[in-house]
Homo-oligomer: A and B are copies of this chain.
Amino acid sequence: MQNRLLAALPPADYGLVGPYLTHIDLERGRLLYDPGDPIDTVYFPHDGVISLMTLMENGGAIESATIGPEGALGLMAAVSPRASLSRAIVQTPCRAARISAVQLHEAWEKSPAIRKFIDRHTEALFGHAIQSVACNALHSVEARFCRWLLTCHDRISTNTVALTQEFLADMLGVQRTTVTAVARTLQERGYIRYRRGVVDIVDRAGLEAMTCECYGVVRRTYDRLLPGS
C-alpha cells in the first residue's frame, strides 16, 4: 500500500520529491505537531490514520479532522511556511513517507501537478471540517461512533483497531460512560466485538446503516477531488 497522492504523481513530478522522501514507521500515540509548532515536515501516510485535534483551554482535546493515505499532514506548508493550528497525533500504527517542508515547497514551485493536488487536498480537508461542524451539532454519539470506526477502517488493512474507549471518548468529545454504552449496543447487534483496548469490526454494513450521512459525504468529497485508491 502506498500513499495515494504520491502514487498518482506522474513520474516527472514524482522525481522532484522522490529523492527527498524518507520512509518511516510511526508508532501509535506519537505526537507530530502541537498548535503553534512550525510545520517543518510533511507526512504522507501509506496506511493508518493521523488525527488532527483541537486543544481547548481546559486541557481537553477533540478530533477535528483526520489524515490518511488519501492525503498528507502539513501539506499546506508546501505553499508557504506556517505554524500548526492543531495537535497531530498518530492514531494507528502507520508507515509513512516524510519530506521537509522546504524541499516540498521547491517541488511545489516547479510542478503544476503538485500544486494542483495540494490545492485539491486543501479543499477536501476543508470539506471534511465543515461536514464535521454539522455532524457534531446534529448527530447522535452512536452515529458519530460508527462514522469514526468506518473512516478508520477505510484507511487500515485489518478489521482490528487498537483503541481504548477512554481515548475514543476524547476524540468524540463525550463522556467515557457514553462510549461504553454505545459500544455495548453495537456489540449486541453483532456489528463489532471489543475487549480491553481493541475493537474488531465484524459487520461493516451494519455500521454503515447506523452512521449518519456525513460518512458518505466526506468520503465522496475525497474521491471526487483526489486520486482514487
Contacts and interface: CB of A to CB of B under 8 A. Distances in A.
A110 to B, nearest CB: 16
Nearest to A138: B173
A126 B85 contact: yes
B123 A126 contact: no
Contact of A52 (B80, B130, B132, B137): B130
Contact of A130 (B82, B86, B174): B86
A62 B132 CA distance: 11
Interface in A132-150: 132-134, 136-138
Interface residues of A, number: 35
Nearest to A57: B213
Interface in A88-144: 116, 119, 122-123, 125-127, 129-134, 136-138
A119 B118 CA distance: 12
B125 A126 contact: yes
Contact of A85 (B123, B173, B213): B123
B54 A133 contact: yes
Contacts of A122: 76, 122, 126
18 contacts: A52-B130, A54-B133, A54-B134, A56-B134, A57-B213, A60-B138, A62-B138, A65-B130, A76-B122, A76-B123, A80-B116, A85-B123, A85-B126, A129-B129, A132-B133, A133-B136, A136-B136, A138-B173
In the assembly, how many copies of this chain are there?
2
Interface string A49-88: 0001010110010101100000000001001101001100
A64 B119 contact: no
A221 interface: yes
Contacts of A80: 116, 119
A210 interface: no
Nearest to A124: B85
